[in-house]
Amino acid sequence: MEPEKDIFEQWREEAEARPWYIKLWNKIEIYYKNEFRYYPKYLQYGLENIFYWFKIIWKDRSWDHDFIFVILKHKLKKQAEDLRKYSHHVGAEYYAERIELCVRLIEKIESNFYELESLEFYKLKSWFKPIEDRPGFSTWESKVVEERIDEYFAKYPRIYKQVAKKGYTDKVQIASRISYINQQRAIDLLFKVIANDIKKWWY
């Protein structure tokens, strides 16, 4: 037979009907069991966090996105380390590796790996050219003196086709565009992995 009252409502009414001193004692008991007795451990965790984060926070600035990646990378390194050390669930090793993938992506992003990669496939000669009718003023001139850009295009055929369709004809310009797209793809992949996995990064 279905009872008249919801069980949670019944428990709440019973708790409210207790004398004030019983309520107070219950609060003290719950606080001790769930909070106070863990204070020494909380203090240890807090001190460890201060030590772990001090150098990062000390150097943090709000100038640009690089500082955000520094903080995120530092957090993810600790998360992967603790996941391996303390976790008991079956997928711990897999998710630790996924976190480390994110760390590697951040390192690539921080170093502008993909944006600078195309520079390895060509060499520019640059110089200042004086403007004839404006003494003291010059233009920046450059030309490709050596290149293997087709090898770079072969590494990323899909992105090359995507860029070439937009009407770019200059090889250096196409390579620069590919490198920009690849850098953004690395950022997109980083946050895609985080969005997909983050709720599983616990122990």
What distance in Å separates the CA atoms of residue 70 and residue 7, rounded to the nearest whole number? 49
**Single pTM value for the model:** 0.77
Q: What b/e readout covers 86-123, taking b as 16+ CB neighbours within 10 angstroms?
A: ebeeeebeebbebbbbbbebbebbeeeebbebbeebbe
Amino acid at 129: K
What distance in Å separates the CA atoms of residue 203 and residue 196, rounded to the nearest whole number? 17
Integer angstrom CA distances of residue 102 from 72, 75, 83, 140, 184: 9, 11, 15, 39, 14
Q: 143 has which bridge partners?
A: 125
- Return the pLDDT at 31: 77
160: how many CB neighbours lie within 10 A of its CB?
Answer: 20
- Return the pLDDT at 121: 94
pLDDT in tens, the chain (203 residues): 677 778 888 878 777 888 888 888 888 888 777 777 778 888 998 999 999 999 999 999 998 999 999 999 999 999 999 999 888 888 889 999 999 999 999 999 999 999 999 999 999 898 899 998 888 899 988 888 899 999 999 999 999 999 999 888 899 999 999 999 999 999 999 999 999 999 988 87
Q: Helix, strand or coil for residue 128?
A: strand
- Return the pLDDT at 1: 67
- Return the pLDDT at 167: 85
Q: Helix, strand or coil for residue 3?
A: coil
